[in-house]
Structure 1
C-alpha cells in the first residue's frame, strides 16, 4: 500500500530546529542575531504567565488568550492586536493552538487577505513577520509544519490553511518546558503525536521517506508515554515524547492524517473535547477498522506500543483500547456528555472531511463512522 520509493514527495522542514533540554536561550540569541526587536508572543493563559523564561528584550507584546480549540473570534482578536503592534517577529509559545494562531499572525496582518481567502493549500501571499515556534506540550508537532486550523463557529467546521509562508524560521523544542504538563494532558497529547505517526504510516499516501519517522515516533510514544505520565519530572521520557511529537509533525506535511483525525474533529468543534483526548478515544477504533487494508503495518504499530503483533480487527481494537485506557485516557463518548442524538450529525460532518478521509487506506462510509461513534459511546 505504501507508495513506491520513486514516487515524488515534497519534504518541508523549518530551516533550523534546535532540540533538547536547556535549548530555550536559542530563541533570544536568534532574535538578537537577526536584529528583531518587536516581538509578539502568542500563548494560552498558562504560558503567557511564564513568558519571562524566553528572555526577550526590546518591545514585547503578549497575546495570552489562545483557546484550546481556537475559533474565528479568537483569531480576530489576535489579528487586531498584531495589526496594532506591527511585530517583526511572532513567537508561538504553547501547544498546537498557540502555534497555529502564531502562523496566521505572521502572515495575515497587513496582507489585505482574510482568513477565508487563504483557506486551502498555498493561497497566502507572503510572510509579514519572522516566525519562531516553541512547543510546550508534546503532541501536535505544529512547530514543524505549514498548516493552521481554526474553528468556524457558524459551521462548526475546522478551516485549514496550508502555506509554505507559515513554516517556522526557527523551531526550538526544549522538553524541559513540558515538565509541568499534568498527567491527563500528557496522556492525551502523547496519543495525538502517536495518531499523527500511525495515520501517516498507514495512509494511502504513506511514503518510505516518512515511514521512518512515523514508526520511530510510535516506538518513542510506546517507550516513554507511560513513564512521563507516572513521573512528570522524568527528563528522558519528556525528551522522548518531544521527539515523537516532532516526528509526528514531520509526518503531517507531506502525508498528513487520515480517518482518525476526521472522525475526532467533530468532538472538538461541536463538543469542545480537547484535540488530544478526542484522538485517544477514536484511535483504537480507526486502527482496527484499517487493519484489513494495512495488516503488516498495523501489526508493527502494536509491536511499537509493546503489544502483541496482530492484524485481526477485534484483537487490534481490544489491544489498542486497553493501551489507551491503561494510560488514563477517557474512552467513552458518553463520559464527555456527548448526546447520543448528536452522533448522526457528527457522522455527517466527519464524512465531509474529504481532505483526510480520501487518504484513509480503507474507504469509510458515513454508516461506518456512525457505527464507530456508537461503539465508542
Structure 2
C-alpha cells in the first residue's frame, strides 16, 4: 500500500463538466446537445486539419469554423479569434482538437462580448462571469483540457506562457470520442501520450497529492504503460486509442485540484521560447525530473515505474535510465539541441523556469535554479 502524502481528510475541491460522454462514435452528441439548447451560431475553435472534419460534430444552425490555429495558442491568436467571434455574433463555442484548441475555446467563451481583456483575466478566478456555452471535443490524448478550468496562452510580448484559471471556463459538455484520434501520426501520438503521463505522474508525486486523486493518477499511469506503445505502433488500433483517451481524461482530473509540478515548469520555456510542442517538451524533461524527485518520493517513484512496466528502483540513476529508455523506445526526441535551442540560452531559460512558482512550489523536492540548469545541460 502506498502511503498518502496528505491525509484522507485533507479538503479537496474537484469540479467536472456537468455532462461527459465517453466512447467510440460519440462526437455527434456535441451538435445534438447544442441543438437541444437552441444554439444556432456555434463557433468551432480548431486547427487546419480538424477544420476539415467538423461535420462529425453534427452542429446545428450556421456554424462558424475558426481553423487558423497552428501550434500552441498565442495572444495574437486569441485576439483574432475573439474578434471573429464578436463579428459573427456566435452563441456557443466548441473546442475541437488538442489542448491548444480547447484552451483557446475556453478563453473565447469568457472574453467574447465581456469587456475584459486577456490581461484582465490572467491568474485565478478573475473572469467576470458572463460567458458562452462551452463544448469540448478532444482529438488527441494528452492534455485532458476537456475537463479542466485552466487555459495556457503564450504572451507574445513577454515570450512566456500565461495561465488563466476560472470555474467559468469549465465545459458544459465534454465529448471524448477516441475514434477521432485514429490515424494520428506516431510523433503526435507519443508526445501527447507522454503529456498525459506527465500530468498523472506530477500529480501523484505532488506536495498536494491526495488519495482522491491518486486513484486517477496511478490508473492513468497504468493505462499509458499498457496502451501508448500499442497506439504508436498501430495508428488504427481503436482499443489502444480508447485506453489513451481515458488516460488523458484521468490526467485532466489530476490537474484541477492538484496540478502539475517541476516537470511542467522546466518544460515551459522550451515551448514559449522555441515553439517546441508541449508534449515533446514534457517527454524530453520527464526522466530528468522523475529521477531528481526520486529521493523525496521513493515509494511513489517505484510505483510509477511498476505501473509503466519498467524495472522498479528508487535510485536516481536507475530511475533515469528506465524512464529515459522508455521514452527513447517510443521514439521521443530526447536531445534539446535537436529542437534548435542554443546552449547559450540555457541559463536564461533556467531563470524563467525557476520563476514559475505556481508549479515549482508543488514539487516534492526543491528545484533550485542551478538544479534546473543542470537538467537542461544534461538534456541538451
Query: Fold match, TM over 0.5?
Result: yes
> Offset at 1:180?
2.2
Give yes or no for contact 1:148–1:162 (8 Å, CA) kept in 2: yes
CA distance, structure 1, for counterparts of residue 87 and residue 7 of structure 2 = 49
- Rounded to whole Å, the distance in 2 between the matches of 1:86 and 1:200 is 39
Partners of 2:203 and 2:360 in 1: how far apart? 12
Root mean square deviation, CA, Å = 0.8
Rounded to whole Å, the distance in 2 between the matches of 1:193 and 1:201 is: 13
Write out aligned runs for 1:80-99 (5 A): 80-99=83-102
- Per the alignment, in what secondary structure is the counterpart of residue 243 of structure 2? helix
Give the drift of 1:32.
1.6
Counterpart of 1:340 in structure 2 is 343
Task: Give the gaps of 5 or more residues in structure 2.
Answer: none
Partner of 1:59, secondary structure, is coil
Residue aligning to 1:28? 31
1:372 to 363, 372, 375: 375
Q: CA deviation at 1:57?
A: 2.4
SS in 2 for 1:64: strand
Contact 1:147 1:163 in 2 (8 A): yes
Which moves more between the two structures, 317-326 or 81-90? 81-90
The offset of 1:115, in angstroms, is 0.6
The answer to whether 1:273 aligns with 2:307 is: no
TM superposition shift of 1:127: 3.8
Farther off after superposition, 359-368 or 47-56: 47-56
Give yes or no for the alignment of 1:287 onto 2:290.
yes
What is the number of equivalent residue pairs in this alignment? 377
Indicate the larger mover: 118-127 or 189-198. 118-127
> What residue ranges of structure 1 are gaps of 5+ in the alignment?
none
Q: Contact 1:201–1:297 at 8 Å: present in 2 too? A: yes
Distance 1:54 1:24 in 2: 5
2:254 is the counterpart of 1:251: yes
Aligned to 2:267: 264
Alpha-carbon distance in structure 1 between the residues aligned to 2:206 and 2:99: 22
Q: Which residue of structure 2 aligns with residue 188 of structure 1?
A: 191
Contact 1:127 1:166 in 2 (8 A): no
- What residue is the counterpart of 2:172 in the other structure? 169
In the alignment, which of 149, 152, 155 is matched to residue 155 of structure 2? 152
Contact 2:220 2:250 in 1 (8 A): yes
> Match of 2:63, SS?
strand
Aligned partners of 2:337, 2:46: CA distance in 1, in Å?
A: 31
d(CA) in 2 for partners of 1:317 and 1:104?
A: 37
Residues 100, 149 of structure 1: 8 Å contact kept: yes
In the alignment, structure 1 residue 235 sits paired with structure 2 residue 235: no
**Post-superposition offset of 1:181:** 1.1
The list of structure 1 runs, each at least 4 consecutive aligned residues, that deviate by more than 4 angstroms after superposition, is none
Kept after mapping to 2: 8 A contact 1:88/1:128: no
Q: Which stretch has the larger CA shift, 46-55 or 132-141?
A: 46-55
8 Å CA contact 2:202, 2:261 repeated in 1: yes
Residue 72 (structure 1) aligns with: 75
**Partner-residue secondary structure (3-state), 1:300:** helix
For the Cα contact (< 8 Å) 2:295–2:314, is it kept in 1?
yes
For residue 328 of structure 1, the aligned residue among 331, 340, 353 is 331
The reply on whether 1:353 has 2:356 as its aligned counterpart is: yes
Matches of 2:73 and 2:34, distance apart in 1: 27
- TM normalised by structure 1 equals 0.99
User: Match of 1:109?
Assistant: 112
State the alpha-carbon separation in 2 of the partners of residues 157 and 345 from structure 1: 12
> Aligned to 1:148, what secondary structure does the other structure show?
strand
Rounded to whole Å, the distance in 2 between the matches of 1:156 and 1:337 is: 16
Correspondence for 1:63: 66
Asked if structure 2 preserves the Cα contact closer than 8 Å seen for 1:90 and 1:102, the reply is yes
> Deviation at 1:304?
0.8
Q: Is the 8 A contact 2:34 2:60 kept in 1?
A: no
